[in-house]
Amino acid sequence: GMIGINTGIFASAYMPFGGIKQSGIGREGAKYGMEEYLELKTLSFGNIK
């Protein structure tokens, strides 16, 4: 869940949200959400001048 301290409004469209453990996978609105969909690739360029 979410906790607000000294505020009544603690959620924003600009803030990432997500839970912990399995419910936190792919946190939306953050860079971590993209990491779930991307695969690391190796590019090797030789003899570039």
Q: What is the pLDDT of residue 2?
A: 66
Q: What is the pLDDT of residue 46?
A: 73
Instruction: Decide: pTM greater than 0.75.
Output: no
Question: What is the CA angle 6-15-31, rounded to 5?
Answer: 145
> Closest Cα to residue 19, out of 38, 32, 5, 1?
1
Q: What is the pLDDT of residue 26?
A: 47
- Span 8-40, pLDDT tens digits: 666 666 665 665 555 555 455 566 666 666 777
C-alpha 30/C-alpha 49 separation (Å) is 37
Q: What is the pLDDT of residue 32?
A: 62
